């Protein structure tokens, strides 16, 4: 007996995106649904999206000095079961800046919320195809701090290798979003 797929979120719905560490919310903020189907969930993060940082046993969240998202518009695209989200980042005027692969736990749906985390490791893919790894040392620091296990580090590195293989073979599942851009008032 299989499980039913989760009900889709309606376009335009406001969801709470939670970053969870060891079962407890560490950061939450609103995002807006752009599209949701059985393959992908795409949400939009806009400047001014207010952050909330509940108290957490690991102490303050690394972004706790910020009260809201600033400076960019972000389309966040996720697939069920992947250990990364694909972010398409734009300047506030709607100009495409770059793709940003954020390595994170697979998203879980909880009512009108989505839950994930952040493993620190990121890959920036510039419009000309150049790639730059970011925060590589975070995997080691998170493991030492007890935020993740050695097994999770191995899984993240395998996910990173998968992303590189997809990019090298030009088989990006997120290419369907290449032409998307935010509607920005002129």
- The yes-or-no verdict on residue 7 having pLDDT over 90 is no
Report the pLDDT value the prediction gives residue 3, as an integer from 0 to 100.
Answer: 52
Q: How far apart (Å, rounded) are the C-alpha atoms in residues 98 and 171? A: 18
Report the pLDDT value the prediction gives residue 71, as an integer from 0 to 100.
Answer: 86
pTM for this entry: 0.90
DSSP state for residue 39 in the 8-state scheme: S
Exposure class string for 8-27: b at 16+ Cβ within 10 A, else e: ebeeeeebbbbbbbeeebbb
Determine, yes or no, domain membership for 111: yes
Domain count, the chain: 1
Domain that holds residue 50: 14-177
Q: How far is CA 163 from the centre of its chain?
A: 14
Return the CATH number at 55: 2.40.380.10
More confidently predicted of 55 and 1 = 55
Determine, yes or no, domain membership for 84: yes
- The yes-or-no verdict on residue 80 having pLDDT over 70 is yes
């Amino acid at each position: 007996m299989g499980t039913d797929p989760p009900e889709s979120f309606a376009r335009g719905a406001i969801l709470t995106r939670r970053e969870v560490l060891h079962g407890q919310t560490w950061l939450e903020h609103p995002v807006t649904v752009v599209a949701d189907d059985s393959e992908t969930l795409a949400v939009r993060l806009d400047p001014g999206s207010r952050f909330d940082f509940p108290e957490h046993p690991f102490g303050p969240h690394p972004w706790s000095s910020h009260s809201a998202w600033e400076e960019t518009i972000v389309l966040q695209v996720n697939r069920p079961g992947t250990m990364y989200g694909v972010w398409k980042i734009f300047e506030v005027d709607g100009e495409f800046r770059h793709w940003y692969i954020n390595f994170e736990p697979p998203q879980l749906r909880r009512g009108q919320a989505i839950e994930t985390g952040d493993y620190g490791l990121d890959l920036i893919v510039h419009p000309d195809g150049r790639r730059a790894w970011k925060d590589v040392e975070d995997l080691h620091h998170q493991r030492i701090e007890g935020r993740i296990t050695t097994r999770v580090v191995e899984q993240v590195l395998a996910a990173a290798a998968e992303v590189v293989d997809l990019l090298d073979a030009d088989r990006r599942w997120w290419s369907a979003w290449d032409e998307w851009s935010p509607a920005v008032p002129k």
